[in-house]
């Protein structure tokens, strides 16, 4: 019986008819992995670019106003949220802070008004009159700035399913990739932008 088994194995060794199928079976998983990783990296880069666009567009729309209401501020930030479409795995956080740099010798940098949208809900952010920070190059006495910070916890497609993570051997680093952009712009239509009740 052993000799028959050995004879059968010896007949298979020179047979090359299944080599292509075996090679494909070995290479196909690697190619699929490369495809999905490339797709995920491309989507991540695109989402990061959109986070930057959110900040620049919101800042641009706000600085075109001479005064703004809380409802207008909310509407502009909602428009900012829509820039991330079709990405909808997590909602962005957008924080708008109007910063007044006082004319006095110490040139205090303080918040004039502020608001934010987080998880689709609008609320106040930093309190008016509280201290703020700006880059040294922008710290010019008697000026007004609008700072827009946009945040996104990017969730890759491969982490949608909680059960899939242990199976794929993914670590917590792939659960949430934090993306952030900050933009500073000056008012265009006036020296300051007033926002009553912001």
pLDDT digit string, tens, across residues 145-186: 999 999 998 888 776 655 555 555 555 556 678 999 999 999
Q: Looking at residue 57, what is its pLDDT?
A: 94
B/e letters for 173-195, b = 16+ CB within 10 Å, e = fewer, are: eeeeeebebebbbebeeeeebeb
Compute the chain's Rg from CA coordinates. Answer: 28
Q: Looking at residue 60, what is its pLDDT?
A: 95
Q: Over the chain (198 residues), what is each successive 10-residue block's mean pLDDT?
A: 79 74 89 88 91 94 93 92 85 94 84 92 90 92 94 80 56 73 94 88
37, 157 Cβ separation under 8 angstroms: no
Residue 102: alpha-carbon gap to chain centroid: 33
> How far is 152 from 44, CA to CA, in rounded Å?
11
Hey, which bits of the chain come out as E strands? 93-101, 109-118, 121-123, 143-154, 177-185
For the chain, give the mean pLDDT.
86
Q: Looking at residue 172, what is its pLDDT?
A: 54
Q: Looking at residue 170, what is its pLDDT?
A: 54
Q: Looking at residue 90, what is its pLDDT?
A: 84
129, 140 Cβ separation under 8 angstroms: no
Residue 148 main-chain phi, psi, to 5 deg: -120, 125
Q: Looking at residue 16, what is its pLDDT?
A: 73
Q: Looking at residue 185, what is its pLDDT?
A: 95
Q: Which among 84, 12, 10 is positioned nearest to 44, based on CA atoms?
A: 84
């Amino acid at each position: 019986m052993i000799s028959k088994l050995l004879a059968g194995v010896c007949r298979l060794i020179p047979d090359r008819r299944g080599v292509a199928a075996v090679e494909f079976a070995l290479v196909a998983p690697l190619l699929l992995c490369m495809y999905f990783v490339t797709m995920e990296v491309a989507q991540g880069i695109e989402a990061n670019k959109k986070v930057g666009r959110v900040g620049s567009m919101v800042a641009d729309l706000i600085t075109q106003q001479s005064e703004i209401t809380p409802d207008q501020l909310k509407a502009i930030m909602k428009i900012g949220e829509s820039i991330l479409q079709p990405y909808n795995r997590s909602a962005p956080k957008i924080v708008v802070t109007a910063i007044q740099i006082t004319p006095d010798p110490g040139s205090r940098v303080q918040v004039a008004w502020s608001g934010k949208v987080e998880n689709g809900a609008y609320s106040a952010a930093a309190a008016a009159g509280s201290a703020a920070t700006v880059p040294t190059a922008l710290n010019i006495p008697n000026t007004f700035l609008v700072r827009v910070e946009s945040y996104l916890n990017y969730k890759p497609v491969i982490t949608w399913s909680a059960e899939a993570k242990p199976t794929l051997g993914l670590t917590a680093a792939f659960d949430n990739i934090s993306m952030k952009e900050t933009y500073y712009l000056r008012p265009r239509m006036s020296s300051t932008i007033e926002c009553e009740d912001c």
